Structure 1
Amino acid sequence: MRLDKYLKVARIIKRRTVAKEACDKGRVFVNGSTAKAGTEVEIGDKLEIHFGDRPLKVEVTQISEHVKKEEAKEMFRLIE
């Protein structure tokens, strides 16, 4: 699944266009490397998203095209 779509479906970022912009500005990292919006995300990948001055670190635990709001929290695990 594309990184920008994963961020939206998992409800880490509310809109896909905002997720794409964050990727384009170099604020999203996959396994320590700067990632573009089209980067493929797989289970076990570690994502780091910089919101202002605080980074959010998560590990991908599930990938699904459509999930309910309550199930979105199961798609990732917070690190630190």
Structure 2
Amino acid sequence: MRLDKFLKISRLIKRRTLAKEVADQGRITINGNKAKASSTVARGDELVIKFGQKLVTIQINDLRETVKKDEAETLYKVIKEERSE
């Protein structure tokens, strides 16, 4: 599944266009490698996303085409959140 689509479906980022912009700015890494919006993600991948002053590290648990809002958090597990300079 594409990175931008996963971010939208998991509701980590609300819109796919915004997910694409964040990825294209180099603020997301997959398993330590810089990611593009078109990068492919798989179960077990570790994403590090920079949201402003915060770094969020997540692990992908599941990939689905559609998911209900209250089940979106089951797609990933937050490993850590930290402030960045």
TM-score of Structure 1 vs Structure 2, range by shorter chain: over 0.9
Task: Give the structure 2 partner of residue 38 of structure 1.
Answer: 38
Give the equivalent residue in structure 2 for 1:50.
50
Give CA deviations for 1:5-54 in whole Å, capped at 9, x if unaligned.
Answer: 00000000000000000000000110011100000000000001001111
Distance of 1:17 and 1:23 partners within structure 2: 10
RMSD of aligned residue pairs (Cα, Å): 0.5
Specify the code of the residue in structure 2 equivalent to 1:14: K
Does residue 9 of structure 2 align to residue 9 of structure 1? Answer: yes
Give the aligned partner of residue 65 of structure 1. Answer: 65
Gaps of 5+ in 1: none
Q: Secondary structure at the match of 2:65?
A: coil
Segments of 4+ in structure 1 off by > 2 A?
Answer: none
* Structure that is richer in strand per residue: 2
Letter in 1 for 2:41: V
* Counterpart amino acid of residue 19 in structure 1: A
Partner SS for 2:26: coil
SS of aligned partner of 2:49: strand
Which residue in the other structure is 2:83 paired with?
none
Unaligned runs of 5+ in 2: 81-85
Size of the aligned set, in residue pairs, is 80
